[in-house]
Structure 1
Amino acid sequence: MPELPDLECYLLALRRMIDGQRLENITIRSPFVLRTFDPPIDALIGLPVEGISRQGKRIIWQFPDELYLVVHLMIAGRFHWRKGAATAKGKNDLAAFRFAEGTLLLTEASQKKRASLHVYRGLANVEAQDRGGLEPLNCTLSQFEEALQRENHTLKRSLADPRLFSGIGNAYSDEILHAARLSRSSGLCV
């Protein structure tokens, strides 16, 4: 599952590949992936990507006129870059975003298609989707401790709770606990 380290890698790669590039075409191959209808996704065609950021486990593409494309990869969603004009034709291909230098495919290798695309107008609408978790890469030790002790959960559940920590999920909470030599079921002593 793409979580904080994976998403940060995606951000670096996407900034290098599509930041400043004009979105030439969008193909939605699977109807369930697009979860919003106003504004329509076609409103993004012809616009340049002005920025790429992250909100929790969501990747946000910023466009002119306060338009935003929010991508949630969920468990099995991935991006694949193809040089030139590629098409979404594989069984796992959900959408294709064509740019002058290549095509970014959104795929999901899962029977339960959970990845999603949302188009919003206005930053306030994007921010309304934020689960409110602390950004682990931008916090102090005392802020981290406070968030960790806010709820009476096991360490694993606290680390994976998007209301407490942004971008950490099941897989990396296990990695964190393993590196700290702690049990997955360790309780918090509050």
Structure 2
Amino acid sequence: MPELPEVAVYIEALETRILGQTLTGIRLANPFVLRTVDPRPADLAGHAVTGIRRVGKRIVMELEGGFFIVIHLMVAGRFRWLAAGAKIPGKIGLAAFDFDNGTLAMTEAGTRRRASIHLLRGDEALRAHDRGGIEVMEASPEQFREALARERHTLKRSLTDPRLFSGIGNAYSDEILHRARLSPLQLSTNLDNDEAARLYDATRSTLRDWIDRLRARSGDRFPEKLTAFQEGMAVHGRYGQPCPDCGAPVQRIVYAENETHYCARCQTGGRRLADRALSRLLKDDWPRSLDDVE
């Protein structure tokens, strides 16, 4: 799922292409991607794009007349920048936003359709899509600590809670916690001052570094291959591979459809965290530390 770094890079690319441009039309290849009925797509045609912003993991295009286009790419949604009037990509194509200078195509791989488009009228309607999490790149250490301690959760859950922090998801929470040298299962209310400061610095530096990396990879081209598994990540998506800092194999916890990746040596003092599925199956045979599996 595109998270804050990917969304930020998408927004930069869109600003250079459609800011100030007039939307000439919206084409829907899959009508179910549109989750609103008023205003209609035709109502937005002829209005220029006056701003592009991020709300959580959503990309918002602001148009003249108080209209907004809110796009949530979810897990497999992506953008493509095509020639003006280009055909919507087959099978994976969801919609196209047409401008005189090009077409922004929205696609989604796989069979599950989760990506969405909301067409809105007015600021109040847009505010309903803001879950209220703080912007960590703008927050002070005190604001960060306050948001973290608002509810008693694991650090993994807290970082990915959109009511607490805006734009952080499964992938970058793993990278943040690895950089901070903190367990994903440590409770948010149990951090000492040094741990809280490390987490604050790691959150901001991880997101900033990845924005810079993704921006450099794209250059002047429209960004592509913005996936949840970025080449160069330390732990996320690297189960069983060596940690780049200590060489120990990256571990994981699987819960429902989500995976948490971490380095036991760097983050948990060598202790392997219990995977609900495997640990229940293996019981006493579940290896508790890296020494038991190495």
TM-score, normalised via structure 1 length: 0.96
Q: Does 1:81 align with 2:81?
A: yes
Q: Which runs of 4+ in 1 moved over 2 A?
A: none
2:182 alignment partner AA = L
Shift of 1:130: 1.0
What amino acid sits opposite 1:151 in the alignment? E
* Distance in 1, Cα, partners of 2:83 & 2:137: 32
Partner of residue 23, structure 1:
23
Matched, 1:136 2:136: yes
- Aligned residue for 2:49, secondary structure, equals coil
In 2: Cα distance, 1:128 partner to 1:147 partner: 20
Equivalence for 1:157:
157
* Bigger Rg, which one: 2
3-state SS of 1:74 partner: coil
Instruction: Determine helix, strand or coil for the equivalent of 2:137.
Output: helix
Distance across 1 between alignment mates of 2:170 and 2:84: 36
After TM superposition, give the deviation of residue 146 of structure 1 in Å: 0.7
Is 1:167 aligned to 2:161, yes or no? Answer: no
Equivalent AA in structure 2 for residue 31 of structure 1: P
Displacement of 1:186 after TM fit?
Answer: 1.9
Partner of 2:277: none
CA deviations 1:77-113 (Å, max 9, x no partner) are 1111013321114111100111111111001112211
Greater share of helix: 2
| Matching residue of 2:107 | 107
* Alignment RMSD (CA, Å): 1.1
- Report the counterpart of residue 32 of structure 1 in structure 2: 32
- Looking at structure 2, the residues matched to 17 and 110 of structure 1 have their Cα atoms a distance apart, in angstroms, of 28
Q: Classify the secondary structure of the residue corresponding to 1:179.
A: helix
Amino acid at match of 2:22: R
Equivalent position SS for 1:136: coil
Higher strand proportion = 1
The letter for the 1-side match of 2:185 is S
| Secondary structure in 2 matching 1:50 | strand
Take 1:41 and 1:114, find their aligned partners in 2: how far apart are those partners?
20
Q: Is the 8 A contact 2:3 2:57 kept in 1?
A: yes
- 1:45 deviates by 1.1
Q: Match of 2:15, SS?
A: helix
Name the counterpart of 2:53.
53
Aligned to 1:180: 180
Residue aligning to 1:8: 8
TM-score of the pair, normalised by structure 2: 0.63
Rounded Cα–Cα distance in structure 2 between residues aligned with 1:137 and 1:10: 17
Alpha-carbon distance, 1:134 to partner: 0.6
SS at match of 2:69: strand
CA distance in 2, matches of 1:4, 1:44: 27
**What is the DSSP-based 3-state SS (H/G/I as helix, E as strand, rest coil) of the residue aligned with 1:178?**
helix
C-alpha distance in 1 between matches for 2:82 and 2:39: 27
Q: Which runs of 5+ in 2 are unaligned?
A: 192-294
Distance 2:3 2:125 in 1: 23
**One-letter code aligned to 1:154:** T
Aligned partners of 1:88, 1:163: CA distance in 2, in Å?
A: 35
Matched pairs, number: 190
